[in-house]
A and B are shown apart, each in its own frame.
Chain A
Amino acid sequence: MIRFLVRRLLLTIPVLIGVATLVFSLIHLVPGDPVQAMLGESASPQDVAQLRSKLGLDRPLYEQYVSFAGGVVRGDLGVSLRTNQPVTRVIFERMPATMELAVAAMLVAIVFAIPLGIIAAVRKGTRVDHAATTLALLGISMPTFWLGPLLAIIFSVWLGWFPVSGRGTLANLVLPAITLGAPLAAILARMTRASVLEELRELYVLAARARGVSEARAVLAHAFRNSLIPIVTVIGLQFGAVLTGAVITETIFAWPGVGRLLVQSISARDYPAVQGCILLIALTYVSMNLIIDVLYGFLDPRIRYE
């Protein structure tokens, strides 16, 4: 198991270097002079030169890269131009809100989708199955930036059940979590259905039934347990979608997380903060994929020894 872990960790290093390089190059993709773009056309040459020096953009490219990479390793992502605070601090102040939302969204998805997927698989071809499948496709097709306002219109404006924006209470969390969790729930329900269906056809399920095991046990303890690998994969892969979706959901519900910080930083042309947010979200995503890979090793011992 340790060899498996070490090998998987080593494989992550080139990806991390690639991610950091791509994020570093972002500021150099700005058309024209990035410093002029940040300060606006009316900025004086002195201000432009001062900011260029502050950001290190007056140094040779390789020096900038080494300095950036060193900063990433030390957790120093520069200073936000908008707030004049270290980018790392600004991001970490917002991180708990994003994590709270992401975890709540994933919980919403798991709680709704897995039972729905199992029921659809067990009742394959019935109305229940058709209803679940259609509901899942609707969930996938409904964009977050429409579902969010729609839920706000119904549950905040018309019914007055939940606040339309802000963070602090559990009531504040409900609508953003459902908005962010719905597409994941839809994908997860489809995957659970397909995966459980496949396992239900296996001989070991037939053997379990032949031994007189109850239907619930045959489905849950045998078929569902073995269908967990693709389900865990989807949960892990969709974590990236949840993090990106958080950018939109946080904007809709004025949720004070990293996603909203990213949008605010883009509007203010605060490129150090933009780079920081992108890097942090990408690193979280890579880490999540790593955790999922390691989880595979625990769920299926064959993977450890491949």
Chain B
Amino acid sequence: MLKLGALIVGVALLAALVGPAITPFDPASQQLALRLSAPSLAHPFGLDELGRDILARVLAGARISFIVGLTVVMVSSVVGTVLGAIAGYFGGRIDDVISRVIDTLMAFPGLLLAIALVAVLGPSLVNVLVALTIIGWVGYARLVRGQVLRAREFEYVQAARALGAGTARILWKHVIPTAVPAVVVQATLGMAGAIIGEASLSFLGLGVQPPTPSWGTMLNGGRAHILDAPHLTLFPGLAIALLVLGLNFLGDGLRDRIDPRSHTNR
């Protein structure tokens, strides 16, 4: 499962990096006379409602998905880890404040809050990144807080404290590392969530704006042609499903490696 996931994600990443350079068609160039053409040898995924090559757009859309997934995961995991570690380690009033913010954000279904934020901030890629990060850090913070609450009682942490190590050093060298494996698993699954989140927002017209190719925007464009040109819907959706499946395989595989208990249940 881990290897299959890594293979799917690796191929998708390679396609995102080199794909747009090796396809003969520009994702933005239009051949209006051939609009909605079905898949053919020249255009294996067919052409969209403006006569643009769908394969070229799917490959360009992969870049957007990776940019969103990686950015959201990196920023939210760092913010969540730091805040979760602070809340768990210091406890008291700091923990109360951070925990109440976490509780409030968790009281919203994640994507709904992202929809609300993008609705007021305006549709754009940057606002999608902001919205997905605002909902994303909470999961990491809660996870790390729990791990740190446990880790701060470990003997080696108490020994470090007794030896006079500073708070920052204890957190950085001794406490946060105990949470890293769980954060890595969460980040892999979180990347899948961020990619679906971006595509959902773009599908609703709230994310990446045309003509920038995003898988969600392409699916939104395909809705009007579901009867006469289903290939507009088929390929971008397949791309999302495959990449998310790969990330889920990868996340599950990593969890199996890290947590033997979950492995026995599989």
Q: A26-B120, A146-B219, A278-B116 are in contact. Are A14 and B100 (CB under 8 A)?
A: yes
A251 CB–B CB distance under 8 Å: yes
Q: Hey, which chain B residues are within 8 Å of A27, CB to CB?
A: 120
* Residues of B contacting A140 in the complex (Cβ-Cβ under 8 angstroms): 244, 248
Binds B, one of A79-87, A106-114, A147-155, A166-174: A147-155
Interface members, chain A 12-31 (any B CB < 8 Å): 14-15, 18-19, 21-23, 26-27, 29-31
Tell me whether A157 is interfacial, beta carbon within 8 Å. yes
A137-B245, A141-B245, A282-B108 given as contacts; is B120 within 8 A of A248 (CB)?
no
Inter-chain CA distance A235–B245, complex, in Å, is 22
Q: Which of B104, B203, B241 has its CB near the most chain A CB atoms (within 10 A)?
A: B104
Whether the Cβ atoms of B121 and A248 lie closer than 8 Å is no
Is B119 within 8 A of A274, CB to CB?
Answer: yes
Are B226 and A143 in contact (CB-based, < 8 A)?
no
- Taking CB as reference atom, which chain A residue is nearest B228? A157
Question: Of B115, B222, B230, B241, which one neighbours A142 at CB under 8 angstroms?
Answer: B241
Q: Which single member of A137, A153, A252 contacts B248 (CB below 8 Å)?
A: A137
Band of interface residues on B: 35 or more
Are A251 and B108 neighbours in the complex by a CB distance under 8 Å? no
Separation of A285 and B105 alpha carbons in the complex (Å): 12
Given A31-B121, A157-B227, verify A141-B241 contact (CB < 8 Å): yes
Q: Are A15 and B109 in contact (CB under 8 A)?
A: no
Among A146, A271, A286, point to the contact of B241 (Cβ < 8 A): A146
- Inter-chain contact B112/A282, CB cutoff 8 Å: yes
Q: How far is the CB of B203 from chain A (nearest CB, A)?
A: 4
Point out which of B234, B240, B266 has the most chain A C-beta atoms below 10 A from its C-beta.
B266
Residue in contact with A145 in the complex, picked from B107, B113, B216, CB distance below 8 Å: B216
Binds A, one of B44-52, B53-61, B192-200: B192-200
Beyond A141-B192, A149-B222, A248-B200, whether A30 also contacts B120 by CB under 8 A is yes
Cα A149 to Cα B200 with chains together (Å)? 14
Given known pairs A137-B249, A274-B116, the reply for A145 and B199 (CB within 8 Å) is yes
Cβ of B12 under 8 Å from chain A: no
Contacts of A100 in B (CB 8 A): none
Beta-carbon contact of B237 and A149 below 8 Å: yes
In the complex, the answer to whether A19 meets B219 with C-beta atoms within 8 Å is: no
Residue of A145, A150, A244, A263 ringed by the most chain B CB atoms within 10 A: A145
Q: Which 6 A-B pairs have the closest CB atoms?
A: A18-B104, A146-B237, A240-B109, A141-B245, A244-B109, A141-B244
- Residues of B at under 8 Å CB distance from A? 100-101, 103-105, 107-113, 115-117, 119-122, 192, 196, 199-200, 203-206, 216, 219, 222-223, 226-227, 230, 233-234, 236-238, 240-242, 244-245, 248-249, 252, 262, 265-266
13 examples of A-B residue contacts, CB within 8 angstroms: A22-B105, A137-B245, A140-B248, A143-B196, A144-B200, A149-B230, A193-B265, A194-B262, A244-B110, A244-B112, A263-B204, A278-B108, A286-B107
Beyond contacts A26-B117, A193-B265: 13 other A-B pairs, Cβ-Cβ < 8 A, are: A18-B104, A26-B119, A137-B248, A137-B252, A141-B192, A143-B237, A146-B241, A149-B230, A153-B233, A194-B265, A262-B115, A282-B107, A282-B109
